[in-house]
């Protein structure tokens, strides 16, 4: 899908630099392939070079973007970081390795083809003999709804009786 305007030429999201770590924390941004530049601003990696003496306070400023964040040392931790309207300080471990995909502003619904805000952190309670219909699988979790219901949420795949081969 080609956009009618080029938001990349109009806006550059910027996050604060990594400071005060004596080179023990690395942050890099890499551009996406040309075919994805209408949607993705960058891929990024934030990681420790060696374990820190204390937790790291990562600073994030509101930039209008949505990021999908993967914890490369704990695959159960994947996040969709949405809009914020103020500065946020996140305390993370003494040792970490995160990979992220930063989408350009307004690329969160019709361009990605899913409404990210609809995939909230809601866990769907499921009894063992209930049937669920899944649509998205992400790091050991399935976004699904119960059969004959409109209520949706995340279910740990390990809790399902049968594996779903179509995912």
5 or 21: which leads in pLDDT = 21
**7-114 belongs to CATH 2.60.40:** yes
Q: What are the residue ranges spanned by the domains of the chain? A: 7-114, 119-159
Confidence (pLDDT) at 166: 41
> pLDDT digit string (tens) for 47-105?
999 999 998 888 888 787 888 888 898 877 787 777 666 777 778 889 999 999 998 87
Specify the pLDDT at position 154: 76
Alpha helices in the chain (DSSP H): 7-10
**Cβ distance 29 to 44 under 8 Å?**
yes
Rg value, the chain, Cα: 18
In this prediction, residue 25 carries a pLDDT of 92
HSE-up (13 A, CA, CB side) for residue 43: 8
What is the DSSP secondary-structure string of 33-55? PGGGTTTEEEEEEEEESS--SS-
Residue 106: predicted pLDDT: 66
Q: Following DSSP, what letter does each residue of 7-18 receive, concatenated?
A: HHHH-----PPP
Q: For the residues 3-27, what does the mean pLDDT come to?
A: 78
pLDDT tens, residue by residue, 136-148 = 666 667 778 888 8
- Per-residue pLDDT reduced to its tens digit, 111-130: 444 544 455 556 677 777 77
Q: When comparing pLDDT for 41 and 10, which is higher?
A: 41
């Amino acid at each position: 899908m080609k956009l009618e305007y080029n938001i990349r030429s109009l806006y550059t999201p910027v996050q604060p630099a990594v400071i005060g770590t004596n080179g023990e924390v690395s942050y890099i941004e890499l551009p996406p392939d040309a075919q994805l530049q209408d949607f993705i601003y960058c891929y990024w990696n934030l990681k420790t070079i060696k374990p820190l003496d204390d937790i790291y306070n990562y600073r994030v400023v509101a930039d209008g973007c949505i990021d999908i964040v993967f914890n490369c040392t704990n695959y159960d931790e994947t996040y969709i970081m949405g809009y914020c309207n103020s500065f946020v300080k996140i305390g993370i471990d003494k040792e970490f390795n995160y990979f992220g995909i930063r989408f350009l502003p307004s690329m969160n619904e019709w361009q990605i083809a899913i409404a990210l805000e609809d995939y909230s952190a809601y866990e769907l309670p499921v009894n063992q003999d209930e049937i669920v219909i899944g649509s998205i699988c992400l790091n050991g979790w399935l976004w699904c709804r119960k059969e004959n219901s409109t209520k949706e949420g995340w279910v740990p795949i390990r809790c399902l009786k049968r594996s779903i081969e179509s995912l």
